[in-house]
């Protein structure tokens, strides 16, 4: 029951709380674990303000003790907490949500763009409360949401340092290559009469002689055209293999004109989203070497997805796994009015997540129409070429009711077998078997897989989760499970309140 905890007030604990674990934390769990708690209610002068609570945990070198901290992210909505805001204009495509001037546009669009430019001056200053995830750019860590703000944090003290305005509507799930370079998408809206999704790369290490944050050295890799000028797709994540980027353009859209008038109408960013079930979902495949979208076009039926699981290449195909929904009803669950209802997840009100696998034939543009072009024996996913040269893709549903997927990121972009997810579950994509951990009156948060250094197999490591314990007289605890057997390795009861958190970030020492 997420609703009870999400509508509950929380408190800071800036000083470390030291606990003795039951069992020994393995050496590979010498970590900082950062969680962003979505929708803590901070009470100040009679007002209710929504803040993220950052949780940090670290084990001692011998694994005999566990220390934890809690600290609020400091958004400017809190009185007297305004921090410096730095506009990273070197990105070139994200300087402003709307263009001040338009060139190369049709005369018939002139009045429309004049109206957009006027509305630009009344744009709401959307929340800087980074409640979705943590991102590493260079050597710095940022709390992020899906607006145009990210907040740099000190991973030691959890102090909020600076606010950055790097892009418009960026994904909060970037990818990292083996060199530590970060890749992410942002949206360029109505620039020179076009709206597009831009893939950018933030180098792991700044060039010698260049000072400032790694974001100053960002590179634009490519852009993907949006099918609608003023209604770009919402996106939360994307896929990446060694040679390709997978970007899914859903019919779940952000209405820019509604967004421009949101402040005047007194509504939120989320109220500007619109699901168009009559439209298809476009699947864009970008060649990482050339920076260009492949000529073959792919699409599937209307769906809403938040999380990509993984993507990989196999025998002339790009295979990618996602957690998909039939509509956007899950988004409505996070409104406070719904969270306060304290009701269990209602399948009739909210669509159920499906773990889906798509397979895209890469070099099949010269084949004749009709027939399934997916030749992989281990999946029933299909891709049928139609008269227009596009491929209609149907996914294989691997399981239902599975969300918040995490894999061993060391094999990201390679074929995987195991996925860890909500309710603390381990799913085998080959046998389709699911293993759960659970105890009465215990609510676990999203698990994080931590690979063992020089591990011998994909699931050689541990799974970390924080558990809210509602049993009388018992404390909440941090739980460590063996990644292979899913048996308990250790737990640390903490003398402080834990909260329902999401999207932890592991920082190796």
User: What's the distance, Cα to Cα, between the start and end of the chain in Å?
Assistant: 34
Query: What number is the average pLDDT over the span 5-22?
Result: 62
Query: What number is the average pLDDT over the span 70-87?
Result: 53
**Among the listed ranges 344-358, 397-411, 457-471, which one has the minimum average pLDDT value?**
344-358
Q: Is 173 annotated as a binding residue?
A: yes
Q: Is 236 annotated as a binding residue?
A: yes
Mean residue pLDDT across the chain:
76
What is the domain partition of the chain in residue ranges? 13-507
pLDDT reading at 399 higher than 80: yes
Residue with the bigger pLDDT between 381 and 101: it is 381
Residue with the bigger pLDDT between 328 and 33: it is 328
Query: How does residue 142 score in pLDDT terms, banded at 50, 70 and 90?
Result: confident
Q: Is 284 annotated as a binding residue?
A: no
pLDDT tens digits, 261-315: 776 777 767 788 899 999 999 999 999 999 999 989 999 999 999 999 999 999 9
**Among the listed ranges 48-52, 197-201, 279-283, 478-482, which one has the minimum average pLDDT value?**
48-52
Residue with the bigger pLDDT between 66 and 162: it is 162
Query: What number is the average pLDDT over the span 149-166?
Result: 71
Q: Are 190 and 113 in contact (CB under 8 A)?
A: yes
Task: Please report the pLDDT score of residue 370 as a whole number.
Answer: 79
Task: Please report the pLDDT score of residue 105 as a whole number.
Answer: 37
- Spatial neighbors of 351 by CB under 8 A, at least 6 apart, are 304, 325, 326, 327, 329, 330
pLDDT reading at 461 higher than 60: yes
Q: Is the pTM of this model over 0.85?
A: no
pLDDT tens digits, 368-389: 777 889 999 999 999 999 888 8
Task: Please report the pLDDT score of residue 460 as a whole number.
Answer: 95
Residue with the bigger pLDDT between 330 and 266: it is 330
Task: Please report the pLDDT score of residue 498 as a whole number.
Answer: 74
| SS3 per-residue string spanning 230-288 | CCCECCCCCEECCCEEEEEECCEEECHHHHHCHHHHCCCCHHHEEECCCCCEEEEEEEC
């Amino acid at each position: 029951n997420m609703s009870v905890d999400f509508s509950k007030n929380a408190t800071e604990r800036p000083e470390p709380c030291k606990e003795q674990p039951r069992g020994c934390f393995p050496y590979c769990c010498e970590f900082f674990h950062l969680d962003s708690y979505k929708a803590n209610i901070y009470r100040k002068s009679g007002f209710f303000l929504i803040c993220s609570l950052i949780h940090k945990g670290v084990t001692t070198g011998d694994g005999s003790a566990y220390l934890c901290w809690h600290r609020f992210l400091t958004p400017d909505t809190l009185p007297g907490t305004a921090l410096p805001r730095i506009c990273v204009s070197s990105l070139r495509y994200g300087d402003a949500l709307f263009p001040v001037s338009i060139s190369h546009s049709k005369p018939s669009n002139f009045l429309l763009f004049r109206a957009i430019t006027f509305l630009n001056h009344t744009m709401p200053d959307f929340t800087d409360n980074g409640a979705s995830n943590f991102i590493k750019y260079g050597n710095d860590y940022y709390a992020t949401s899906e607006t145009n703000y990210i907040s740099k944090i000190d991973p030691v003290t959890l102090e909020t340092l600076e606010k950055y305005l790097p892009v418009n509507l960026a994904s909060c799930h970037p990818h990292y290559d083996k060199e530590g370079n970060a890749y992410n998408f942002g949206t360029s809206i109505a620039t020179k009469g076009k709206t597009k999704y831009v893939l950018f790369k933030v180098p792991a290490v700044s060039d010698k002689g260049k000072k400032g944050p790694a974001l100053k050295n960002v590179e634009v890799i490519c852009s993907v055209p949006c099918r609608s000028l003023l209604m770009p797709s919402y996106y939360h994540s994307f896929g990446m293999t060694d040679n390709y980027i997978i970007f899914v353009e859903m019919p779940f859209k952000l209405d820019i004109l509604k967004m421009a008038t949101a402040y005047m109408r007194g509504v939120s960013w989320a109220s500007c989203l619109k699901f168009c079930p009559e439209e298809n979902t476009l699947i864009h495949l970008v060649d990482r070497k050339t920076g260009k979208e492949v000529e073959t076009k792919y699409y599937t039926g209307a769906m809403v997805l938040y999380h990509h699981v993984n993507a990989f290449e196999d025998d002339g195909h790009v295979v990618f796994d996602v957690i998909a929904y039939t509509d956007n009803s899950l988004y409505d669950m996070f409104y406070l009015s719904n969270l306060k209802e304290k009701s269990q997840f209602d399948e009739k009100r909210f669509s159920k997540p499906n773990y889906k696998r798509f397979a895209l034939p890469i070099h099949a543009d010269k084949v004749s129409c009709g027939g399934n072009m997916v030749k992989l024996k281990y999946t029933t996913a299909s891709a049928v070429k139609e008269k227009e040269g596009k491929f209609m893709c149907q996914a294989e549903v691997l399981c239902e009711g599975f969300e918040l997927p995490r894999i061993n990121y060391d094999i990201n972009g390679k074929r995987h077998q195991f996925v860890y997810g909500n309710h603390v579950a381990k799913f085998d994509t080959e046998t389709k078997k699911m293993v759960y951990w659970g105890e009465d009156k215990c609510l676990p948060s999203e698990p994080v897989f931590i690979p063992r250094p020089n591990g011998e197999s994909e699931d050689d490591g541990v799974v970390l989760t924080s558990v809210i314990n509602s049993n009388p007289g018992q404390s909440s605890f941090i739980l460590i499970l063996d990644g292979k057997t899913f048996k308990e390795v250790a737990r640390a009861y903490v003398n402080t309140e834990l909260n329902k958190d999401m999207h932890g970030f592991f920082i190796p020492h």
